[in-house]
A and B are shown apart, each in its own frame.
Chain A
């Protein structure tokens, strides 16, 4: 049997020795930037690869060059493929693949905004990560851009919204400030009466420069920042960051730590999914199930507070394991609560799907076709609801998932109903997983000892299938073993374009429920 590296090399038509297995489950190939479009074709066609992230790093102090990184998931080989290409600062551009692979669209523009590297041949090379009031030439992620530099605002509002014209067609601007407690984002609908013809998004109102901030933090402190990237994914992002550091430092997480991480990640999945299911009911004014779901979520987060000391499971993940052990009493509390939760949850779902007035609102609403989901590189719950069978827990197993029995629920509808049902089925699977793992917690320590320093000039990828979808963190160190670059990819960044495609053809009053069925993070997207 040929090794993964050999098969991949053959498919990409490159010499086998060029492909390094940097770390388990992570193949690395250094290439020339001009070869990237051709390689993208081969990765996508021959290896069924899916683009998970694309970013640059500034290595001018070491190699006098920028470097571009393309992270492809190769589920067939249970490995990631990192294509990396040097970019000469004298000619700061690279060939775009966005026209053929729309998943690269925002990534490439983000590289342009933050590094000043221009994607040649990009169909729409405008700002995305920074707004037009940010001055040209201030490339924030370059190493020579000081973290505390004050940047003057360019006056005026010159965001180029694409005009939507025609008889009886008008534009409805919504946001960035919304009613209710949600984050800022601007939606612009082109409508003919109630039906939506076209939807444009403007995000990144809460861009906080998190990736830049990581570079100034001692690596042990990075976890706290990672936890805050998106408040509802504290475990997911903390774990992805911890994975990256552990793989960098060749740290082995003890089995009990791995098992507890699975418990935390699945609890996060459950409490978010139940909140979303309730929110879908709220959005169509189905009040009784909505408050039942709220009560279920509240009960669960209180139990989490009791058992892990924090309602939303912050401060539970540690680099090298977990911070807090689960004591036998806590295990009993959790088990009892989850049993009751499971029964209540079943009744709640029955209440929803048996109500004609509810299903009438969610069936056929906001359809994202399988083809669109594949083309756009949609991930997570949204992808699985459009018939794309992908889940990092199975495709690139992390923590204790390899030893667990669970199914990956996939629905074909691509509508609000399908996204609801994927969530419902996932909660059931999570309860199964918790049932298995609570019965067989290994008897080891919870965390491993940390080294004084990380290896210098090294890099690694950390990934987690969090509740919304895959979170990936790429971490690279400098010559002192401190953090030189962290690239955070939240599933929201990949999925927002999916919303743009799911909405047209629906009517405006159905937008909130479609938006909620995706429930994407602004904070995680904007970083």
Chain B
């Protein structure tokens, strides 16, 4: 009999490792689909891994005015993203570290990573870092409550804040078309777009420093530092999509650790995340980026949707 602690640690490592391994593929897949919609070939599917490998081999170039805060930023951001993956059920209806906490811990962990990166962006004193940090924080101040409200609306359905317990309850319940589900999903989808820095909120592909939000924060980073930031962002994106599919389309999730169930769960998860990735691609390709001051309006819409979803649960 293996002690529970080892089991938890093993499952955590496995899940974090799996998410780290899969995340670059998601980003490249979205890039590839965007390119196809523009009649371009796009990068090869493994480009995300090549880029990370290239960055890791490079020498980190750091500003002379940078302090330890600057060096710590990407590391904390990366650690927070990896830690967050253990708080969410992915293939199995259990989150490896669900005993540690639920929705609040997840949102808090991600917010901590963001805080570390924003502080690091301010550290060099470059105008772009400050600009990016202030913009990112402005949006986060609205997006985080909306994220929490949206998750709460789902939590109310099962009466628990623990994501593991919640997903198990949802799996038992089966797919639901309750208006509250639809509203919360719409609200959270907008948040995912905003949090992952995608059009219409931010443009991950731009070279125009003055328009950047997330990219402006990390403009100074190079080499392995940049690799950590990029990788963590990719993991965060995969994590958000996983959260969405498992909370709103709880189909195919394994309730036991048998090989067959795990295989079905892997297929189902890949398929569902891919469907959401297509949705993200379509949104990115059919919209221009919003004027910066319109972004809070969009995020407020999602806040409104999440609030409605929550209110309907009480009816």
Binding site for B on A (CB under 8 A): 170-174, 178-180, 193-194, 281, 283-288, 290-292, 295, 355, 357-358, 360-361, 507-512
Cβ–Cβ contact A194 & B40, under 8 A = no
Residues in B whose Cβ lies below 8 Å from that of A179:
207-209
Which of chain A's residues have a CB closer than 8 A to the CB of B289?
Answer: 284-286, 357, 361
With beta carbons under 8 angstroms apart, the residue of B127, B131, B284, B290 that contacts A287 is B284
Is there contact, CB below 8 Å, between B210 and A512? yes
CB pair B209 A174 closer than 8 Å: yes
* Interchain CB contact under 8 A, A287 and B285: yes
- Known contacts A174-B127, A285-B200; can you find 8 more A-B pairs with CB under 8 A? A170-B127, A174-B210, A194-B292, A287-B34, A287-B199, A288-B38, A291-B40, A509-B210
| Minimum C-beta distance from B206 to chain A (A) | 6
Q: List, in ascending order, chain A residues with CB within 8 A of B209's CB.
A: 174, 178-179
Query: Beyond A179-B207, A194-B293, A512-B210, is A285–B288 a contact (Cβ under 8 Å)?
Result: yes
- Verify if B47 is at the interface (C-beta below 8 Å from A): no
Give chain B nearest CB distance to A388 CB in angstroms: 27
**22 A-B Cβ contacts within 8 A?**
A170-B127, A171-B127, A172-B127, A174-B210, A179-B209, A180-B208, A281-B288, A284-B288, A285-B200, A285-B205, A287-B199, A291-B40, A292-B39, A357-B200, A357-B289, A357-B290, A360-B290, A360-B294, A507-B291, A508-B131, A509-B291, A510-B292
CA gap between A84 and B284 in the complex, in Å: 58
How distant is A442 from chain B, measured CB to nearest CB, in Å?
40
Partner of B287, one of A172, A194, A357: A357
User: Contact at B207–A285, with CB atoms within 8 Å?
Assistant: no
Which of A292, A361, A512 touches B208 (beta carbons < 8 Å)? A512
What is the interface of chain B, defined by CB distance below 8 A to chain A? 34, 37-40, 127, 131, 134, 199-200, 203, 205-211, 284-294
Asked if residues A180 and B288 are in contact (CB atoms below 8 Å), the reply is: no
Q: Which residue of A lies closest to B289 (CB)?
A: A285
| A506: nearest chain-B partner, CB-CB | B291
With beta carbons under 8 angstroms apart, the residue of B39, B200, B293 that contacts A291 is B39
**Complex CA distance for A287 and B283, rounded to whole angstroms:** 11
Chain B nearest CB from A288 CB (Å) reads 5
- A179 vs B290: C-alpha distance in the bound complex, in angstroms? 21
Partner of B291, one of A170, A295, A510: A510
Q: Which residue of A lies closest to B212 (CB)?
A: A509
Quick check: B38 and A358 within 8 Å, CB to CB? no
- State the 3 A-B residue pairs at the shortest beta-carbon distance, nearest first: A291-B38, A286-B288, A285-B289
Q: Contacting B285 at CB < 8 Å: which of A174, A180, A288?
A: A288
The answer for the CA separation of A291 and B287 in the assembled complex, in Å, is 14
Roughly how many angstroms separate A360 CA and B287 CA in the complex, as a whole number? 11
Docked complex Cα distance between A173 and B287 (Å): 30
* Interface pair B291/A361, CB less than 8 Å apart: yes
**Cβ–Cβ < 8 Å partners of B206 in chain A:** 285
Residues of B within 8 A of A507 (CB): 291-293
- Which of B38, B206, B207, B288 has the most chain A CB atoms closer than 10 A to its own CB? B288
B203 CB contacts on chain A under 8 angstroms:
285
B199 touches A285 (CB 8 A): yes
Which of chain B's residues have a CB closer than 8 A to the CB of A512? 208, 210-211
Q: Which residue of B lies closest to A175 (CB)?
A: B209
Least CB distance, A118 to chain B, in whole angstroms: 36
Chain B nearest Cβ from A164, distance in angstroms = 13
Which of A174, A281, A287, A361 has the largest count of B CB atoms less than 10 A from its CB?
Answer: A287
Q: Are A357 and B288 in contact (CB under 8 A)?
A: yes
Q: How far is the CA of A294 from the CA of B292 in the complex (A)?
A: 26
Distance (whole angstroms) from the CB of A134 to the closest CB of chain B: 28
With the chains together, A285 CA to B294 CA distance in Å?
A: 15
Complex CA gap A189/B223 in Å reads: 30
Partner of B39, one of A295, A360, A508, A509: A295
Report the bound CA distance from A290 to B131 in whole Å.
Answer: 27
Q: Which residues of B contact A360 (CB under 8 A)?
A: 288, 290-291, 294
User: Roughly how many angstroms separate A355 CA and B200 CA in the complex, as a whole number?
Assistant: 13
Q: Are A287 and B211 in contact (CB under 8 A)?
A: no
Enumerate chain B residues within 8 angstroms of A284, measured Cβ to Cβ: 288-289
Give chain B residues whose Cβ lies under 8 Å from the Cβ of A295. 39
Chain A residues with Cβ under 8 A from B286's Cβ? 288, 355
Asked whether A509 lies within 8 Å of B287 as measured between CB atoms, the reply is no
User: In the complex the two chains form, what is the Cα distance from A333 to B34 in whole Å?
Assistant: 33
Q: In the assembled complex, which residues on chain B have CB atoms less than 8 Å from the CB atom of A288?
A: 37-38, 285-286
Shortest Cβ distance from A180 into chain B, in angstroms?
4
Residues from chain A with a CB closer than 8 A to the CB of B134 are 193
B39-A361 in contact (CB<8A): no
A326 to B52: give the CA distance in the assembly, Å: 52
Distance between Cα atoms of A178 and B203 in the complex (Å): 18
The answer to whether A509 and B288 have CB atoms under 8 Å apart is no
**Minimum CB–CB distance for B290 against chain A, Å:** 7
How many angstroms between the C-alpha atoms of A291 and B34 in the bound complex? 11
Cα A510 to Cα B40 in complex, Å, equals 27
A290 to B285, CA, bound (A): 10
Interchain CB contact under 8 A, B291 and A180 = no
Among the listed B34, B38, B210, which residue makes an inter-chain contact with A508, where contact means beta carbons less than 8 Å apart?
B210
Contact A180 B292 (CB under 8 A): no
Q: Which residue of B lies closest to A283 (CB)?
A: B208
How far, in whole Å, are A218 and B223 apart by their CA atoms in the complex?
52
Contact indicator B131/A172 (Cβ below 8 Å) = yes
What's the Cα separation between A170 and B130 when bound, in Å?
11
| Complexed CA–CA distance, A286 and B40 (Å) | 15
Q: B293 contacts which chain A residues (CB < 8 A)? A: 194, 507
Q: How far is the CA of A286 from the CA of B288 in the complex (A)?
A: 4
- Given known A-B contacts A180-B207, A285-B199, A358 and B288 have beta carbons under 8 A apart: yes
> Distance in Å from the Cβ of A169 to the closest Cβ of chain B?
13
Residues of A within 8 A of B291 (CB): 360-361, 507, 509-510
Please indicate the chain A residues that have their CB under 8 angstroms from the CB of B199 in the complex. 285, 287
Q: Which residue of A lies closest to B290 (CB)?
A: A357
Which single residue of chain B is at the shortest CB-CB distance from A512?
B208
Task: Write the nearest CB–CB distance from B67 to chain A, whole angstroms.
Answer: 21
- Least distance between A65 CB and chain B CB atoms (Å): 48
Closest to B198 in A: A285
Distance, CA A508 to CA B139, complexed state (A): 16
Residue of A nearest to B38 (CB): A291
- What chain A residues lie within 8 Å of B208 (beta carbons)? 179-180, 283, 512
